[in-house]
Structure 1
Amino acid sequence: MTALISVSDKSGILEFARGLLECGYEILSTGGTLKHLQDNGINAIDVSAYTSSVEMFDGRVKTLHPKIHGGILHRRDNKEDVEVAKKFEIKDINLVCVNLYPFKETIQRTDDFDEIIENIDIGGPSMVRAAAKNFKDVMIVTDTLDYSLVLNAIKNNQNTLELRQKLMIKAYEHTASYDCMIANYMNERFNVGFGDKHFIYGNLVSPTRYGENPHQKGAYYEFGDFYSKRFETLKGEISFNNLTDINSAVKIASSFGKVPAVCIVKHGNPCGFAIKENLLTSYVEALKCDSVSAYGGVVAINGNIDKALAEEINKIFIEVLVAPSITDEALRVFESKKKIKIFVCGGEYLDFPKDSYDFKHIDGGFLLQNSDSVGENEVRDAKCMGNIEATCEQKRDLEIAYKVASLVKSNCVVYVKNSAMVAVGMGMTSRVDAAKSAINKAKDMGLDLKGCVLASEAFFPFKDSIEEAHKVGVSAIIEPGGSIRDNEVIECANELGISLYFTGVRHFLH
């Protein structure tokens, strides 16, 4: 029995190779893998010695040889194949262990295109695909985590067709994701990210109990390894809807850097947000915005959850808590709450991945775009359009309102007072309806909006929203501008004594 081993990721390979030798395999290997095995006392045969063909072109051609691919691909139950293999002295290669050149690590490390090109594997994918194609006769191992599984199967006579089929699927996933990564990179480098093809691929983290509704199946995948390695479940089982709400809450809570921000989300939209002197006060103020909707909501805490904060949160039913960390004392506060779910991501602050591209599914395809975010100086550089300059406190609140508004479903308006959201209208078919809805909710919650600021993620098409804002005492407004009636809006703000700023950048979120 012969095993061919050629790996870039050498973790666990020595133990795997020793195990194969103990099971009676001889080992063929190449280049760095061969040296690594031999330097550690493992008897391995150089592929070049077996094929009588030296490595060529700085190692670009090593395993592309009939003795290698014939050994993998010939059908053991086909008489003609067996005779051809015998005629040309081609050994049966029964196991192929390959993982590919580190293309992803290379593009993360350097922009040197020559080095990047050299880290595009050719022989590796060819061997993986060949072994996967002939899975009836060959085991293909591409995942370092499968080494123990494969060795145990061989040792216990459980090298079954079913096992080889599972390994085959994994192998094609391995080469497919590798090729997708290369194609996307080349399009990003030469076609500003939008080529004739775009590939979306990810690694399964876990199935969810169901999708958005119980009759739908669901699962979640990751582009890198954040959710499998850094996102930890401390209590409960995460659901499909939890993940989408967590995504919304964390985006908002982490938008202001290293500050004690708290965001409360329900069904994908914020119903509470505040940045105060500490997390406890921020949570208390965030809850005031809409304590009714917060019931059963998702809370993102941009810092460590201590016992005092846990006790405050525990006064109502919160379904999901997500934070960088939580103390043992605080965790014990929630022991009696069976339905609460608690997740941490490590570190001092919420630090989730920020993807460069965003896509939305439509029946028959998907839409692709660069991810949206508020520019670093977008609010600071906003142009005062009227006669009244905002105060420093108002500018701080305008920044909070505007950044939150950029992450709220359109049409939306966000009202902020003293660094806390006091009203929000979202997902409305008209902007003035969003403004009125937010004001009505604030009245229901007994909140005084006098002196607050207002942000909109897109321009106000008419002055009616400015007039509604004035009725409740809005002191400053920030919006992108760009309406054909901007002059009317500016004139109205001046007449009503409201500071008005235009950013020039729209942030629709549909």
Structure 2
Amino acid sequence: MRALISVSDKDGVVEFAKGLAGLGFEILSTGGTYQLLKDNGVAAVEVSEYTKSPEMFEGRVKTLHPKIHGGILYKRDDSSHAAQAKEFEIGGIDLVCVNLYPFKATIARTNDFAEIIENIDIGGPAMVRSAAKNFADVLIITDILDYDEVLEKLRSNSADMGFRRSLMIKAYEHTASYDAMIANYMNERFNGGFGDKKFITGTKVFTTRYGENPHQKGALYEFENFFSQNFKALKGEASFNNTTDINGALMLATSFGEAPAVAICKHANPCGFAIKSNLFESYTEALKCDPISAYGGVVAINGTLDRELALKMHEIFIEVIIAANVTDEALEVYSDKKRTKIFTQESKFLVRSDDKFDFKHIDGGFVYQERDFIQDDEVKNAKCVTTRSASSAEFTDLEIAWKVAALTKSNCVVYVKNSSLVAIGMGMTSRVDAARAAVAKARDLGLDISGCALASEAFFPFRDSIDIANEVGVKNIVQPGGSIRDDDVIAAANEHDMAMYFTGIRHFLH
């Protein structure tokens, strides 16, 4: 039996090679892997010695040889193949262990294009694909986490077709994601990120019980190990819908740095938000905005869920809690709430990945775009277009309202008072309907929204929303501006002695 080992990620490879050698495998290897194995007492044979062909062109050509690919690819149960292998003195290679040049690490470390090009693997993907094609005869290992299982299967003679097939699938996933990463990088460098092809790849974190509905299958996939590193289940299992709702709450709670922000979301839209002096006060104020919708919702806590806060939250049913960290005492409070799920990032404050791109499936394809980031200075740099201007305290409410609006489904309007969300209308087909819906709910809940700040993620096309805002005592408004009726809207604000700011930036969320 013969194994070829050539890896960039060398974790565990010495122990794996020793295990193979103990099973009677002859070990072939290349370059740094060969040297590492030799230095650690593994009797490896260098590929160039085996093929009697030297490495050429600074190592660009070393495994691209008939004795390597022939040994991998010939079908053992085909008499014609076996005869040709014997005629050309091609010995079988029964196991291939390869992972590829560190392209991702290289582009993270340098912008030197010549160095980047040299870290595009050629021989590695060729060997992986050859071995994967002939998986019935050749074991292909591309994941260091599979080393122990492969050795166990070989020792027990249980490397059956199902196991070989699973390794084959993983191998093609490995080369496909590698080539996709290179293509995406080249398009980002030379075509502004929008090439003729766009590749979206992710690694499965877990399978959900089902998708949006019980008859649909679902799973969570991650980019760059984000969830593996920043998502831990303390209580319960995240469903498909939980993950999208968590995302909505987390995006809002992380929009204010290290502030003690608490966001309450239902169906990925905010129904409560506040920033007070501590997380307990923030949650208490956030809940006032819409306690009915908060029932069965998702709460994101930008800090620690402790016992005091847990006892307060325990008063109503909350389906999902995501917190930067959670104390054991807080977890104990929820021991009797079987349906409540608790997740943490095990950090001081909540973190987000801040992916550079965004995409959405449509029937027959997907639309792809640069991600919409809300900059911290958008309201600070906004233009006051009215006679009245906001005070510093009022300006804080404008900034909070603007970020909440940007993270809420269009059409939306957001009312904030004393750093707390007091009314919100979202996902409406007209902006004035959103304004009416928000005001009606606030009145039903007995909330005083006089003196509050109002934000709209897009311009007001007519003055009617401004007149509605006046009826409930809105004093400050922030919006992008840009309507052909801006003059009418500004005039309405001046009539009602409101301050109005134009940011010049729209934040549709569809």
Counterpart residue identity of residue 89, structure 1: E
Query: Superposition pairs for residues 87-126 of structure 1, below 5 Å?
Result: 87-126=87-126
Aligned to 2:364: 364
- Measured in 2, the distance between the counterparts of 1:407 and 1:158 equals 52
Matched, 1:443 2:443: yes
Q: How many Å separate the matches in 2 of 1:229 and 1:93?
A: 37
SS at match of 1:415: strand
Residues 95-494 of structure 1 correspond to what in structure 2 (within 5 A)? 95-494=95-494
**Aligned-pair distance for 1:86?**
1.2
Matched residue, 2:7: 7
- TM-score, normalised relative to structure 1: 0.99
Residue in structure 1 matched with residue 80 of structure 2 by the alignment: 80
Report SS of the residue matched to 2:192: coil
Query: In the alignment, residue 481 of structure 1 is paired with which amino acid?
Result: G
| d(CA) in 1 for partners of 2:460, 2:276 | 30
Post-superposition offset of 1:352: 2.1
Contact 1:273/1:420 (CA < 8 Å) preserved in 2?
yes
Paired amino acid for 1:54: P
Letter in 2 for 1:486: D
Q: CA deviation at 1:368?
A: 0.1
Deviations 1:344-393 (A, max 9, x none): 01211101211100000001000000000112321110000111111001
* SS in structure 1 at match of 2:359: strand
Q: For 1:48, what is the secondary structure of its paired residue?
A: helix
TM-score, normalising length: structure 2: 0.99
d(CA) in 2 for partners of 1:313, 1:18 = 55
Instruction: Give per-residue Cα distances to partners, 1:279-326, cap 9 Å, x unaligned.
Output: 000000000000000000000000011111111011110000001101
Secondary structure at 2:369 match in 1:
strand
1:334 alignment partner, SS class:
helix
Secondary structure of 2:167's aligned partner: helix
Quote the offset at 1:159 in angstroms: 1.7
Could you report, residue by residue, the CA deviation over 1:79-118 in whole angstroms, capped at 9, with x for unpaired residues? Answer: 2211221122111000000001111111122212111111
Distance in 2 (alpha carbons) for counterparts of 1:42 and 1:229: 34
**2:42 aligned with 1:37:** no
Q: Report the Cα offset of residue 230 of structure 1.
A: 2.6
- One-letter amino acid matched to 2:75: R
| Cα distance in structure 1, aligned partners of 2:376 and 2:193 | 23
| Alpha-carbon distance in 1 for matches of 2:4, 2:199 | 31
Q: Provide the aligned C-alpha RMSD in A.
A: 0.7
1:46 CA displacement: 0.2
Matched, 1:27 2:15: no
The structural deviation recorded for 1:228 is 2.0
Q: CA deviation at 1:133?
A: 0.3
Of residues 350-359 and 371-380 in structure 1, the stretch that sits farther from structure 2 once superposed is 371-380
Q: CA deviation at 1:14?
A: 1.0
Letter in 1 for 2:414: V
Q: Which amino acid aligns with 2:434?
A: A
CA–CA distance in structure 1, aligned partners of residues 447 and 19 of structure 2 = 70
Letter in 1 for 2:437: S
SS in structure 1 at match of 2:335: coil
AA partner of residue 19 (structure 2): G
Distance 2:351 2:56 in 1: 45
- Give the Cα separation in 1 of the matches to 2:362 and 2:339: 34
Q: Is the 8 A contact 1:373 1:406 kept in 2?
A: no
- The 2-side partners of 1:482 and 1:53 are apart by 69
**2:258 alignment partner AA:** K
Q: How far is the alpha carbon of 1:181 from its aligned partner?
A: 0.6
Q: Distance between the aligned counterparts of 1:389 and 1:46, measured in 2?
A: 76
Separation of aligned partners in 2, 1:376 and 1:29: 53
Give the distance between the partners of 1:230 and 1:262, measured in 2 at CA.
Answer: 18
Distance in 1 of aligned mates of 2:285 and 2:123: 60
* Unmatched tracts of structure 2, length 5 or more: none
Instruction: Measure the CA separation in 2 of the matches of 1:306 and 1:262.
Output: 14
Residue type at the aligned position of 1:359: F
Alpha-carbon distance, 1:183 to partner:
0.6
Q: Following the alignment from structure 2 to structure 1, what is the Cα–Cα distance between the partners of residues 229 and 4?
A: 30
Q: Would you say how many aligned residue pairs link Structure 1 and Structure 2? A: 510
Which amino acid in structure 2 is aligned with residue 155 of structure 1? Answer: R
- Tell which deviates more after alignment, 245-254 or 111-120: 111-120
Does residue 57 (structure 1) correspond to residue 88 (structure 2)? The answer is: no
Q: CA separation in 2, counterparts of 1:377 and 1:118?
A: 41
Secondary structure class of the residue paired with 1:449? coil
Q: Distance in 2 between matches of 1:36 and 1:377?
A: 53
Q: For the residues of structure 2 that align with 1:376 and 1:194, how far apart are their CA atoms?
A: 27
Say which SS state the counterpart of residue 342 (structure 1) adopts.
Answer: strand
SS at match of 2:336: coil
What's the % identity of the aligned pairs?
65
- The answer to which of 57-66 and 397-406 deviates more is 57-66
| Runs of 5+ unmatched residues, structure 1 | none
Q: Comparing 133-142 with 84-93, which one deviates more in the overlay?
A: 84-93
Q: Distance in 2 between matches of 1:333 and 1:62?
A: 62
Give the letter for the 2:137 counterpart.
D
Q: Which amino acid aligns with 2:87?
A: K
Code of the residue aligned with 1:388 in structure 2: it is R
